[in-house]
Chain A
Amino acid sequence: MIQYITRRMFMAIPVLFGILLVTFALARLIPGDPCRAILGEKATDAVCERFIHERGLDKPIPVQFGVYLKEIIRGDFGRSIRYSLPVTRLLVERLPTTVELSFAALTLSLIIGIPLGIISAVRHNSWIDVLTMMWANAGVSMPVFWLGLMLAYIFSLVLKDTPFWLPPSGRVSPGISTAAFYDVWGLSVYGQGLGVAILNFLSRLNILNAILSGNWKLLGDSIKHLILPAVALSTIPMALIARMTRSSMLEVLGQDYIRTARAKGLAKRMVILKHAFRNSLLPLVTVIGLSLGSLLGGAVLTETIFGLSGLGRTLYDAITARDYVIVQSFTVVIAIFFVILNLIVDVSYAYLDPRIKLD
Chain B
Amino acid sequence: MACETHLTRVWLILVSNEVERVVTKNNAAPLLEIKHLKTHFFTEDGVVRAVDGVDLQVFPGEVVGLVGESGCGKSVTSLSIMQLISAPGKIVAGEITFEGQNLLELSEKEMMKIRGDRISMIFQQPQTSLNPVFQAGDQVAEVFRIHQKLQDEEAWEQAVELFRMVGIPAPERRAKSYPHEMSGGMAQRVMIAMALALRPNLLVADEPTTALDVTIQAQIIQLIQDLRKEVGAAVILITHDLGVVAEMAERVAVMYAGQIVEMTDVISLFDKTFHPYTQGLIGSIPVLGKVKERLEVIPGSVPNLVDLPPGCRFAPRCRARMEYGLDLCTKVEPQLIEYQPGHQVRCWLYQDTEEYKAPLKDRG
Contacts and interface: CB of A to CB of B under 8 A. Distances in A.
A and B assemble together: yes
Interface of A: 255-257, 259-268, 275, 278-279, 352-355
B193 to A, nearest CB: 11
B350 interface: no
Nearest to A257: B131
Given A279-B131, A355-B178, A262 B123 contact: no
B120, B123, B131, B134 — which one has the most chain A CB atoms within 10 A of its CB? B131
A267 B131 CA distance: 16
13 contacts: A255-B128, A256-B128, A257-B128, A259-B79, A260-B129, A260-B130, A260-B131, A264-B142, A264-B146, A264-B194, A265-B143, A266-B112, A278-B133
B82 interface: yes
B123 A354 contact: no
A256 B129 contact: yes
A355 B180 contact: yes
Given A259-B84, A262-B84, A262-B115, A354 B180 contact: yes
Interface size class of B (residues with CB under 8 A): 20 to 34
B129 A259 contact: yes
Contacts of B115: 262-265
A260 B128 CA distance: 10
A263 B215 CA distance: 28
B113 interface: yes
B132 A354 contact: yes
Contacts of B178: 354-355
A221 to B, nearest CB: 43
B191 to A, nearest CB: 7
A332 to B, nearest CB: 37
A262 to B, nearest CB: 5
B121 interface: yes
Contacts of B210: none
Contact of B133 (A256, A259, A264, A354): A354
Contacts of A265: 112-117, 143, 146-147
Interface in B269-283: none
B97 interface: no
Contacts of A260: 123, 129-131, 139, 191, 194
B120 A353 contact: no
A142 B127 CA distance: 43
A123 to B, nearest CB: 10
Nearest to A268: B108
A277 B125 CA distance: 22
B143 A263 contact: no
A354 B120 CA distance: 27
A124 to B, nearest CB: 8
A265 B79 CA distance: 13
A265 B139 CA distance: 12
A355 B112 CA distance: 31
Contacts of B113: 265
A40 B79 CA distance: 79
Give the 4 A-B CB pairs with smallest separation, nearest first. Answer: A264-B116, A265-B116, A265-B115, A257-B131
B132 A267 contact: no
Nearest to A253: B86
Contact of B82 (A257, A263, A353): A263
Contacts of B123: 256, 259-260
Contacts of A261: 131
Nearest to A275: B131
A219 to B, nearest CB: 38
Contact of A353 (B116, B132, B143): B132
A353 B117 CA distance: 29
A262 B121 CA distance: 10
Contact of B120 (A259, A264, A355): A264
Nearest to B108: A268
A353 B114 contact: no
A243 B40 CA distance: 31
A260 B180 CA distance: 16
Contacts of B191: 260
B101 to A, nearest CB: 16
Contacts of A354: 132-133, 178, 180
Given A259-B129, A265-B143, A266-B146, 20 more contacts: A256-B125, A256-B129, A259-B123, A260-B129, A262-B82, A262-B115, A263-B82, A263-B84, A263-B115, A264-B120, A264-B142, A264-B143, A264-B146, A265-B112, A265-B114, A265-B147, A278-B133, A278-B134, A352-B133, A353-B132
Nearest to B197: A264
B194 to A, nearest CB: 6
Nearest to A259: B84
Contacts of B116: 263-266
Nearest to A263: B121
Contacts of B142: 264, 266
B120 A263 contact: yes
Contacts of B129: 256-257, 259-260
Nearest to B145: A266
B98 to A, nearest CB: 14
Contacts of B114: 265
Contacts of A255: 128
Contacts of A264: 115-116, 120, 142-143, 146, 194
Nearest to A276: B131
Contacts of A263: 82, 84, 115-116, 120-121
Contacts of B146: 264-266
Contacts of A278: 131, 133-134
A144 B142 CA distance: 47
Contacts of A355: 132, 178, 180
B116, B117, B191 — which one has the most chain A CB atoms within 10 A of its CB? B116
A257 B120 contact: no
A58 to B, nearest CB: 59
